[in-house]
Amino acid sequence: MATIPSKDMAKRPSFNEDKSSIAEGQVVVRRTTDNREPESLRNLDEDEIKRLNRKLVRKIDSYILPTIGILYILNYVDRQNLSAAKLAGIMEDLDMTTQQFATAISILFCGYLPFQIPSNLLITRIPRPGMYICLAVTIWGAISAATSAVNTYGQLLAVRAILGMVEAVFFPGAIYYLSAWYTKKELGKRFAALYIAQQVGNAFGGLFAAAIIKLDGTYGIAGWRWLFIVEGSATVGIGIICACLMPEFPHNTRMLSQVERDLAVWRIESEAGAAEGTENESLFRSFVKALSDPKLILLIICNLLSQGQGSIANWFPTLVSSLGYSSTTSLLLTAPPYILAGFVYYAIMFVSDKKNTAYPLILGCISIATAMYIIPMATTSTGARYFSMMLLPFASVGPQILLYKTINLHLARPVSKRAAASALVNAIGGTSNIWTSYLYYAPPHYFAAFGTLMACALLFAATITLYRWLVLRDNKRLDSNDPEQIAKVMKAGVTQEMVDLGWRYEMY
């Protein structure tokens, strides 16, 4: 592409501005010396670029966010329905002990975790990632519905393990998929939207479960079996519909005009050098690059500890039932904490995007969670314990949104490295869901569970503080303009193209 005259560069927009005051949809593109700006954008003035960008963001939001949000609701409903089934008698019907039920919860992650990494490496090579994700949704819906047919503990374990393998596609794939479409100033609130959908799934999953379980005995089918039949069948149908709506990558999507496609790609390229579908890095090389970055190791540890805290979601109906209410009332009482969490998630990411920050927000969530873990261990007061349960969902899980935003901004390129890093963090961090499943015993205080989660919170605070020190040190090296210092940062994963763009580790 031809070089733009320097007189034009002074008046043209730049998407790579780091000022937090820039309004969403009005971020601008900075020209770089290699000038790879698409031909279709060169004759547009600054106001035209801004208007086109605002229109583009609205269009992306209208197609992607509702679809991804609905699928994530289904993901959590299908993953958490076993906890609801526990209150509907599945343990008695399958003659399971408490330890066996814990194994049935945790075995899903034995399939879920290892399959995330190859899946996320594969999605970078698939021209239609939306179709790939929706295919997985349809298959896991069918498997979830098939859970209604199990008659033994062993059959339940087999179905849950297979379900985990298929569900491995969705979450890391969705995180990567969103980062392929949104700039760093837009990404935080979109991650928040994903987690809000998670909380909607948690909140209304309990309400739906309470309604479906009332079918107990209809046509001679137990209520917990109806739960899997109805929710699994709904997932299959919605997955097929969403497959027709999900767009591809920005460079090859059919929902945008050519000018909009060019702008969608350029928005991403101007921040860190390359957009999805434009690199030829091998999958193995990308995986090795991800593992060689010491910051990734710290992020894995942070997410391991954060997901340990977030394990309360797997047992939340059980925790609420320890207040002494009936099964139906307990399911209904799970909704308000998750609804509150959805509002808080949006507030957290609104502040994160506006102020370009993450570290103090993470520490704030950790502090609240630590205090809330103490309450159920210290008292049997129903009011005090439910108060802690109101705050624990957002305080325990909130930092995970900021961690995924950090991964996608700090480990930006190459594209397949970012995909591998996202999957590694989620896969290894997700192992917490296995061992924490055996901590939730001895109600109402649950000393083992809440004591362990408190330790996770404190270690998390220490680890994220160390991570902050590392990235601030690397920023100083990048600011030094010393080739030797910059070379040290590049060994940790920053590319020459990112250095040329003036890229820095932000939010810490």
Q: Helices marked H in 244-381 — which ranges?
A: 258-272, 283-291, 294-310, 312-321, 327-333, 335-355, 359-378
| CA 351-356-359 angle, 5° bins | 80
Average pLDDT over residues 136-156: 93
Task: Write down the domain spans for the chain.
Answer: 56-500
Are the CB atoms for 72 and 197 separated by under 8 Å? Answer: yes
User: Does pLDDT of 13 surpass 50?
Assistant: no
Average pLDDT over residues 387-402: 91
Locate tokens 């049935």: which residue? Answer: 104
Helix (H) or strand (E) holding 179: helix 170-179
Q: What is the pLDDT of residues 85-98, one digit of tens each?
A: 888 889 999 999 98
Locate tokens 């599945």: which residue? Answer: 90
Return the pLDDT at 29: 47
Return the pLDDT at 416: 65
d(CA 193, CA 248): 20
Return the pLDDT at 22: 37
Which superfamily, per CATH, for 56-500? MFS general substrate transporter like domains (1.20.1250.20)
pTM of the predicted model as reported, rounded to 2 decimal places: 0.70
Return the pLDDT at 272: 55
User: Does pLDDT of 14 surpass 70?
Assistant: no
Q: What is the pLDDT of residues 47-66, one digit of tens each?
A: 888 889 899 999 999 888 89
If DSSP codes are grouped into helix, strand and coil, which group holds residue 506?
A: coil
Q: What is the pLDDT of residues 270-313, one digit of tens each?
A: 765 554 444 555 666 666 766 777 888 899 999 999 989 988 87
User: Does pLDDT of 449 surpass 60?
Assistant: yes
Return the pLDDT at 284: 65
- Residue 496, burial from CB neighbour count under 10 angstroms (0-12, 13-18, 19+): exposed
C-alpha distance from residue 283 to each of 119, 127, 293, 417 (Å): 11, 15, 16, 8
- Tell which wins on pLDDT, 59 or 423: 59
